[in-house]
Amino acid sequence: MAKAKHKTRGIAWRVLLLILALGLAASVLLVTDLWRQYQVFVDQPLTSAQNERVLEVKPGDSFTRVLRRMRTIGIDQGHDWQWRALAFQLKVLERLQVGEYSVGHGISPRQLLRKLEAGRVIEYRFTAVEGWSMRELRAALALHDALEQTLGEMDDAALMAALDRPGVHPEGRFLPETYHYTRGVRDIDLLKRAALAMDVALGAAWAGRDDDLPLQTPEQALVLASIVEKETGRASERAQIAGVFIRRLRMGMRLQTDPTVIYGLGAGFDGNLRRRDLQTDTPYNTYTRAGLPPTPIAMPGRDALLAAVHPAAGNSLYFVARGDGSHHFSATLSEHNRAVAKYQLRRR
């Protein structure tokens, strides 16, 4: 009887050991398989019917919340544990950068998490166009929904005060260029960058100006540059246009430039400049008043700034549009009248 019990216990132990061995083997196989799946997952391209998705990491987001948002935008590859294991392995759990991220077709999980760690966020572009007025600049900013809109009903005086430029007229104070920004940047902060860029560009142009210009301050150079900008869209003509106005200023002649008159008319201008408009006196009517107008009339670009301080030499005092975007320049009034008859009156 004792021998039978001993034999039974021996069999039980062998069965138990066999079970443990089989369980261990199964566990090893399971872990090996899970590791193989994980290794495939981390570098396997994410696929989607969409070409690109946008993943947003918000302030205070945990990795769990980011992972949930990834699922929401259609990133369904991999188990949650695989994403967490990868984030732990890459040590990015606490180093995710706030912002919007482009998740392009084919990016791998490893590349995506490295992107979030490095803060390679989506950049938007805003282009301020040469010759825009302040009104046009405001309207363009309002169309960019990636910007945080703060200007609202803020008038120009309040805007310039917010930019630490109280009492400064806003026209022409922002450099027309392309500015890059990320979602959530305030519109006023973008304007601050554009204002500082104009300060630098104007300062550099003024520092390298020609000698003996009839311009006393950088402000006057900015005003002249804005007129040059509105008078021609051809870069090759800007210095010539500036030369005409510089010679007129030296001689005490009135500038007689239509863009300043139009600016002075404001909302009253209906697109058709009439003789009575040229005779209506405003601070910006260079037909009725001598010298430069009191402020810029638009945003001049870098080329217009340089033209204002490096005008082309010559003797022309007049110019008229040919109708193809270029101008005919004349030294005398009689020559100018003939050019007007040829290019303007005949076209009308």
Q: Which residue has the higher pLDDT, 260 or 21?
A: 260
Nearest to 239 by CA among 167, 138, 287, 309: 309
Could you tell me the two tokens for 212? 């003996």
Cβ neighbour number for residue 128 with a 10 Å cutoff? 22
Per DSSP, 186 falls in state B
pLDDT of residue 108: 92
Q: Is the pLDDT of residue 260 over 90?
A: yes
Could you tell me the two tokens for 247? 């010679």
Per DSSP, 325 falls in state S
pTM (2 d.p.) = 0.80
Least confident stretch, 42-56, 257-271, 305-319: 42-56
Least confident stretch, 39-53, 88-102, 214-228, 292-306: 39-53
Give the residue-averaged pLDDT of 108-115: 92
Using only C-alpha atoms, what is the Rg of the chain?
35
E strands within 8-86? 52-57
pLDDT of residue 106: 85
Give the residue-averaged pLDDT of 65-78: 90
Report the alpha-carbon distance of residue 178 to residue 144 in Å, rounded. Answer: 13
Residues 160-171 have pLDDT tens digits of: 999 999 999 999
Q: What is the b/e burial string over 49-84, where b = at least 16 CB atoms within 10 angstroms of the residue's CB?
A: eeeebebbbeeeeebeebbeebeeeebebbeeebbe
pLDDT of residue 166: 96
What is the band of 30 on the pLDDT scale with cuts at 50, 70, 90?
low
pLDDT of residue 1: 53
Q: What are phi and psi of 340, to 5 degrees?
A: -60, -45
- Torsion of Cα atoms, 133 then 158 then 167 then 291, to 10°: 20
- Residue the block writes with tokens 């008043």: 289
- Residue the block writes with tokens 């004349």: 330
pLDDT of residue 167: 95
pLDDT of residue 57: 92
Residues 154-193 have pLDDT tens digits of: 999 999 999 999 999 999 999 999 999 999 899 999 999 9
Report the alpha-carbon distance of residue 178 to residue 125 in Å, rounded. Answer: 6
E strands within the chain? 52-57, 99-104, 124-127, 178-181, 318-321, 327-330
Mean pLDDT of the chain: 89
pLDDT of residue 149: 95
Q: Is the pLDDT of residue 325 over 90?
A: no
Q: Delimit the CATH 3.30.1490 region(s) of the chain.
A: 52-118
**CATH fold label, 52-118:** Dna Ligase; domain 1 (3.30.1490)
Could you tell me the two tokens for 92? 């990015």
pLDDT of residue 322: 87
Compute CA distances 49 → 8, 73, 74, 75, 122, whole Å. Answer: 63, 12, 9, 11, 21
Per DSSP, 313 falls in state P
Could you tell me the two tokens for 344? 């303007």
pLDDT of residue 270: 84
